[in-house]
Every structure is written in C-alpha cells, then in structure tokens.
Amino acid sequence: MDDRLLTLRMAAWMEKHLTDPDLHLDLEKASGYSENRLRQKFYNITGETPSGYLRKRRLTEAARALIRGERIVDVAAAYGYSSQDNFTTAFGSWFGITPAKLRDLDRNYRNLLMRMKEPLNLMELTNLKQSPLNTTLMSAIKGASEYFDLDWSIAKLFGYSTHAFLINIATNHRGDTPDFGICPSSPYCWNKDRFFLALHNMGIRRVDSIMLNAGFPPGHRRTTPEELSNAERRVKAHLDAGKVCVLDFRDHQLIAGYDPKGFILLQPWQCAPKIVRPALSFGEQNEALNSDGWVGFTLLEKEELRADESTLLQSALTTALRMRSAPEEFTLECYRSGDGAWENWLAGIDKGLGSSHGHWWNGSVWMECRKMAADFFAEIEPAMKNAKAEALCQELAKLYRECAGQLNIARAKDAQAGVQKAALAEGRELDSRCAGLMKELLAETVA
C-alpha cells in the first residue's frame, strides 16, 4: 500500500479511537506493520510519529472538552492519562497553559489556538483503482468507469471511445533527443476532442482540462504562482465533490486524493518506472514542472445520459474511418496519425531507431490497442442484427488479432531492422484491410 494512503487510513482510524487507552497496540494490528515500520512510514508523510500525532490530537480534544466545562479529572481519564497531574504536565508542555487556566483565555488564547492539532488533512477516493494497461489513458478511463458504476468492459471502452483504432507517431528527428523520430510520447500527444466526445456519450464527461507550463515548449507563456494555486484549488474542489481527476504528464495517472503536501497518485503498474510518480507536490515544489516544465489535469464526472450501443458503434466506426481519411483532425504539431504514422514509424527504423525505447513503447501501446480492437469486435458480434454484420465482426476480430501479433514482432528491440520493417508493413496492410471492413460494417448498421 502507498505510504500516503496508509497514513490516511491510520490517522482516520486513530480519530475513531482517541479515547482508547490501548490504541497504540491496536494500531499496529490494524495497520499490519510492526511498530518501528509503521512509525517510519507515518513519519515520512507527516513529519511526526503516530504517538506524537495521537498525543497532540488527544490534547486538542481534551482542551475542547475543558472549554465546554467538563471537569479536569474526567477529561484526563477520558483521554488516557493515569492521573490528573500527568495530564496537567502534558497539557502545559504542549499548550503553554495549564488546564486550570483555560478560563483565562484573554492573554493566552492565541498561543493555545495556534497549537491545536486538527485531524490529519488527507482526502482519498477509496474506491478508485487504476488497472495495469500499457495505454495509461485507458487504464485511467477504466478506473473512472468503474468508480462511476458504469458497466463497460475494457474492450468496449477501447472500441466505443475509438482509442482501439488510433495510431500516432512523431514526425521529425531532433539531434538533442536521438529517438524523437519514434518518440515514446506519441501515444499521449494527439487531439483527444473526438475521444472525449465519444466518452461523453458513454457516460464519462470531461468537465475541464488544465495545463500548467513552466517553460516547455519554449516560447509558451509560463504559469504564474497565482494560476498554479488556483489550478490546485480547482482540482482539490473537484476531488472533494467525489469526482475523478487524471494527471496528464509523461503517463496518465488517476489522482486518488491529497494530503497537506500534494496530490496522491495511483500507479498504473506494480513495478512502476521512474516516469510515474507516487505523488505530486503543491506549489513551486511541483516535480513535473521542475523536471519537464509542464503538467496537465483532466477533470471528469459522470454523465447520466448515455447513448445506446447501436449509436455508439456507428459513431465509433465513423471516427475510426476519419482517422484514416482526415488524420489531421487527430494530430498535434510534430506528430502524424493514420497512414502517415505508419510511414513515420518505418522511416524511424531506417534511421536506426528500431532498438530505441520509443520504438518499443509505441509497439507495446499500439499492439495493445489492436488487441483490444479484436476483443471489441468479438464482444459486439453476438448483438449484430444480420449474418453479414456478424461475419464482418468475426473477420475484424481475426485481422486485428493478426495485426497485434505483427506489432508484437516489430516492437522487439533486438530484432533485425528487416524483420521489424516487414512486420510493420504487414501490420499496416492489416490495419488498412480492417478499415475497409469497418466501412462495410457501418453500412450494415445504418441500413
């Protein structure tokens, strides 16, 4: 379990047991960690030990009880002190005032109130999960779908959203980044407007997108400290409302909540590489802005009105065909989608980039997308209204599975360039054949 989530749960558990004299023993049992291990994890997040946190919270609540007029001896016993003298000593050490002098707040209340220990300010969406997909945008969307109690399978999310049919590869080669010609960010850098429109019809609505910039790309206006603070407040308010936020950085990560230091992030993989983060600090300590100069957030909420699956299929097929006939609608500067993406990829291998991380990562993501396309058509085939549509779905499932197999061959870093290019050329041909079949299937669905 992530240390921040563990700390959140342990703090919440302590709040429910502030008057339990044996709480420290139960705390170890509830956490599943030894006393020393739990102390270290809690300290790493809060800067204090569990016993220190508990002592200050008990004294704070004891002070409130005294202010309400309760007797000192009763309050001392209620909050675990063996004697009134021990309680008085601890109280005076922390607040600088004895319990008996609480009534004389005119000259001491400022110091008292400043030292009140409020409950640990951690917020968590406990039912939010992120599955281990290579296509991290879709693993985030799958987590949102489940959190919103939508019944979409992962294959239908890929298919109806049209991500299953996308391919996007960078266009140029820069000397300062040798594998930019097969940039590992290609799966993330594309125009997602049609994608989020499709999701809207599936019950997941993009409320807002927030982009923060600290100097990348060069020439872009830098986000001011005030704008950064406002953006963080908007994301926190969205989370407080029980809605879903996605961190858009080198990968897509769901935001599980926040603590006083920053946002708590879910991990898309068990063995997460350095590009995914367990947390993102607030303010000028924001690691993404400091390392790469940019970071984004996508705010999602549940849309109650959903289109029927027949409408979703027609829309998905139409968009998939537009990816080939009008790829510029899906591209950003320095990238190409559709058939041009295949051209870029093949050209990258000619440049000797077939052993690069970017080549392997693109192969991993686009292979997963084509596999999901195969699963998608296999899932929807039973709902087709005539034999021809059923046959088309079966053939599409078969060809997309073959396409995924070719991408699996091509992505291997240690494969010879000729083998990689042959596999990509075959994958490209299979992708093209699938587009023709989808055009026929679209005709059947609207007939």
The whole-number average pLDDT for the span 48-69 is 87
Instruction: Say if CB 280 and CB 297 are below 8 A apart.
Output: no
Question: What pLDDT score was predicted for residue 176?
Answer: 46
Last residue within a domain, chosen from 273, 302, 331: 302
Mean pLDDT, range 127-148, rounded to an integer: 93
Q: List the beta bridge partners of residue 244.
A: 300
Q: What is the pLDDT of residue 356?
A: 92
Alpha carbon 115 to chain centroid, angstroms: 36
* pLDDT > 70? residue 285: yes
* pLDDT value at residue 178: 44
Average confidence score pLDDT of the chain? 88
pLDDT at res. 179: 44
Helix, strand, or coil (residue 116): coil
As a whole number of angstroms, the distance between CA 389 and CA 394 comes to 9
418, 332: one domain: yes
Pick the more confident residue, 361 or 50. 361
Residues 109-123: tens digit of each pLDDT: 656 766 777 676 666
| 95 vs 27: which has the higher pLDDT | 95
Q: Is residue 25 part of a domain?
A: yes
What SS3 state is found at 317? helix
**pLDDT at position 259 over 90:** no
Pairing of β 279-281 and β 262-265? antiparallel
CA distance 234 to 232: 5
Name the more confident of 31 and 53. Answer: 53
| Residue 166 tokens, joined | 């996308």
Please, which residues have CB within 8 angstroms of residue 108's CB and are 6 or more apart in sequence? Answer: 96, 97, 101
Q: What secondary structure letter does DSSP report for 222?
A: P
Domain that holds residue 110: 3-120
- pLDDT of 398 over the 90 cut: yes
Residue 393 lies in a domain: yes
Residue 293: the pLDDT is 85
The residue that leads in pLDDT, 382 or 126, is 382
The helix or strand, by DSSP H or E, that contains position 299, with its residue range, turns out to be strand 294-302
Place of tokens 């290609």: 186
| One domain, residues 440 and 294 | no
Residue 237 belongs to what H/E stretch? helix 225-240
> In terms of domains, do 192 and 217 share one?
no
Asked if 184 and 161 sit in the same domain, the reply is yes
pLDDT at 234: 95
| Domain contains 134 | no
Which of 259, 275, 302 is the last residue in one of the domains?
302
Residues 354 and 313 in one domain: yes
Final residue of a domain: which of 120, 142, 169? Answer: 120
Count of alpha carbons within 13 angstroms of residue 298, beta-carbon side: 19
103: domain CATH number is 1.10.10.60
b/e map 360-398, b = 16+ CB within 10 Å = bbbbbbbbbbbbbbbbbbbebbeebeeeebbbbbebbbe
Tell me, yes or no, whether 266 and 348 share the same domain. no
When pLDDT is averaged across residues 260-276 and rounded to a whole number, the result is 76
| Number of domains the chain is built from | 3
When pLDDT is cut at 50, 70 and 90, the band that residue 141 belongs to is: very high
Task: For residue 190, give the nearest of 336, 325, 363 by alpha carbon.
Answer: 336
* Same domain, yes or no: 401 and 312: yes
Please check whether residues 169 and 267 belong to one and the same domain.
no
Segment (H or E) for 361:
helix 357-380
Does any domain span residue 125?
no
- Give the residue from 345, 425, 336 showing the smallest Cα distance to 181: 345
Residues 417 and 326 in one domain: yes
Q: Is residue 339 part of a domain?
A: yes
Whether 184 and 237 share a structural domain: no
Q: Which range among 19-33, 191-205, 235-249, 319-333 shows the weakest confidence by mean pLDDT?
A: 19-33
Is 250 part of any domain?
Answer: yes
How many Cα neighbours within 13 Å face the side chain of 383?
12
Q: How confident is the model at residue 191 (pLDDT cuts 50, 70, 90)?
A: very high
Full-prediction pTM beyond 0.85? no
Shared-domain flag, residues 170 and 50: no
Average pLDDT (206-229) is: 84
When mean pLDDT is compared across 77-81, 242-246, 304-308, the lowest value belongs to 77-81
**Taking residues 171-175, what's their average pLDDT?**
55
Same domain flag for 187 and 322: yes
Residue 259 lies in a domain: yes
Mean pLDDT calculated for residue range 209-231: 83
Q: Is residue 74 part of a domain?
A: yes
